[in-house]
Structure formats: structure tokens, C-alpha cells
Amino acid sequence: MRVTGAMQYTQLLQNLRNVQTGIYDWQNKMSTGQRISKPSDDPVGIGYLMRYNSELNRSDEYLENARTGSGILDTMDAVLQQADDVLKRAHVLALQAKNDTVTDEIRLTIAAEVKQLKEQLVLIGNSTFNGRYLFNGQVTDQPPYTVANAANERTDPGVFQLNVSPSVTVPVSITGEIIFGAAGTADNAFRVLDDLVSHLENGQADLIDNDIKNILSSSDRLSISRAEIGARRNRFALMENRILDNAAQLQRLRSETADVDFAEAITQMKLKQNVLQAALATGAQILQRTLVDYIN
């Protein structure tokens, strides 16, 4: 086959374009730190990269759920501590009121304080986290209790849960009736305080012993709920650590698949630049040839 000057020029330009393209590719890889920027860079690797990215995104969601669950449970534990403090104060007042030396006037004063404790307990029962009511099951947009009728109000029995892995769901909420007692029952915490107020205002000191027993029963129920909250809090902490470990492993695999080996990149850049210089030098020799050179 006869090689013409035009063919030489065309081949030279094609070779220069190929070398320059290679240099641009390595420059892009070094500037982004990513070995794979499009599927053609590594058809097999891009599949792994997409899977790692997808799993990392899910890990972020699970981690956020675990941290949200921990935040909710920490808030619940704090407010139940407040509720326990309310019942402890009610217990002290009840013990004081049952004393035979206490006058009816003093009992009326004690009753006024117990009413305030009842209102505080209702406020605790309507506690929220990020605008969501904690003790009304899955009905998180409505307060479960009112001051006027808290003892007879039923909370939603649903349980709010959070996913912390593809196969693990951890319950977060505890319904108000589990914590404060079933609506209408004698040991419902709100009913206990209502009864204590009634007995104090009506001079029924002989019934205060039963009120004390119910106050202690309500306090025990709170302790059980707090123990459950603590167990769930530990579960979320374990899952958070597991998610972080898994994410670190995925990040390592992703890095091995997609990140640039800078030592290799620098070597390849130098090689491409040397090839470009050689190609340019060769091209200069070709382009210097004239018609006189061919005639000679």
C-alpha cells in the first residue's frame, strides 16, 4: 500500500489526539480523585460502585433512624424521671396528710398542691419530641391527655417503630396506658391523684392509706417502663455501632473500587507526556518535509 503525505499527517493527528485524550483522562482522575467517572471507564467496577453507593445511602438512613430512636428514648426517660418525682412528692404529702395531728385546713392546703402535681403529670403525659407526642401510640399529632379527664382517657395502642437494618425494626414508643395505667382503673396515676384530692377535701383521712398504696403501684409501673426504655436505648446504641462499622467497611470497598491510585496516576501521566513529546518531535520531522525533499 502506498503511503501518502496526507495519510502520514492524518495518522499523526490521530495519534496526538489519542495521547492528549489519555492525558486529559488522567488529569480528570487526579483532580476528582475518582478512577471511575463513566461506565466505560470500568464496566464491571461501575456495577460494584453503584451497589456500594446504594448501600451507603441506606446506611445513612438507618443511622439517622437509630440516632432518632435514641433521642426519643432519652427524652422519654427524662420525662418519666419527672413523673416519678411528681409521684414521690405526692407520696410524701399523702403520708403527711394521714397523720392524725393534721387539721382539715392543712389537708385542704395539701389538696391544692396535689392538684398542681396532677396538672404537672398531665403536662408530662403530653410531652413531645420534635413536635410528636410521645405517649399516644401512632397518633403523634394529638395530645393524649386533658387535665379535666386524664384518668379516663385512652391512648392509641399502636407502637411507633424505626427500621435500623433491612430486617430489624425496633419499637420506640410506649403507650400512655402502659406508663400511667389503664383508663378508669384505680391505680391509674391520674386517678390516684384525683382520689387523693377528693379524700383530702372531704376529710376522708381513713382512705389515704389506699391512696398511698396506689401511688406506690404507679411509681413501680413507671420504674418498669424506664427499665424497658433503657433496654431499647441500649439496643439502638448497639445498632448504631454496627451501622457505623458496616458503613466503614463499605467505604473501604468503595474506595478500593473507585478511588484513584495517585502513584499509578502520576506514573501514567508522565508516560503519556513522554509519549506526547515523542509524537510531537516525530511530527515536526514529518511536517518539515517539502516537495523539494521528495524530488531530491
Give residue-wise pLDDT tens across range 48-68: 777 878 888 999 999 999 999
Going by C-alpha positions, the residue among 19, 25, 30, 23 that lies closest to residue 263 is 30
- Residue position matching grid coordinates 525533499: 293
List, in sequence order, the alpha helices (H) in the chain: 5-32, 43-97, 104-125, 176-180, 189-201, 208-258, 262-287, 291-295
Cα separation, 57 vs 247, whole angstroms: 9
The amino acid sitting at 69 is G
User: Can you say whether residue 169 is alpha, beta or left, with left for phi > 0 and alpha for psi between -120 and 50 degrees?
Assistant: beta
| Residue of higher predicted confidence among 280 and 130 | 130
> Would you tell me how many other CB atoms lie within 10 Å of the CB of residue 194?
19
In the structure grid, which three cell numbers stand for residue 158, read together? 399502636
Percentage of the chain exceeding pLDDT 70:
71
Pick from 125, 84, 124: nearest CA to 220: 84
What residue type is 82 in one-letter code? Q
Q: What is the per-residue pLDDT across 165-190, written as a single tens digit (0 to 9) for each?
A: 888 999 999 999 999 999 999 999 99
**Residue 1 pLDDT exceeds 70:** no
Q: How many alpha carbons lie under 13 Å from residue 248 in its C-beta half-sphere?
A: 6
Look at residue 36 and tell me whether its pLDDT is greater than 90: no
Per-residue pLDDT, 295: 47
> What is the rounded CA–CA span in Å between residue 210 and residue 284?
108
- What are the boundaries of each domain within the chain? 1-33+260-296, 61-253
Tell me how far CA of residue 147 lies from CA of 143, 158, 164, 203, 293, in angstroms: 11, 23, 37, 23, 108
Instruction: Give the type of residue at 236.
Output: F
pTM over 0.85: no
CATH fold for domain 61-253: f41 fragment of flagellin, N-terminal domain (1.20.1330)
The helix-helix angle for 43-97 and 189-201 (nearest 10°) equals 20
Amino acid at site 220: D
If DSSP codes are grouped into helix, strand and coil, which group holds residue 158? coil
How many whole angstroms separate alpha carbon 212 and alpha carbon 8?
105
pLDDT tens for 70-90 read 999 999 999 999 999 999 999
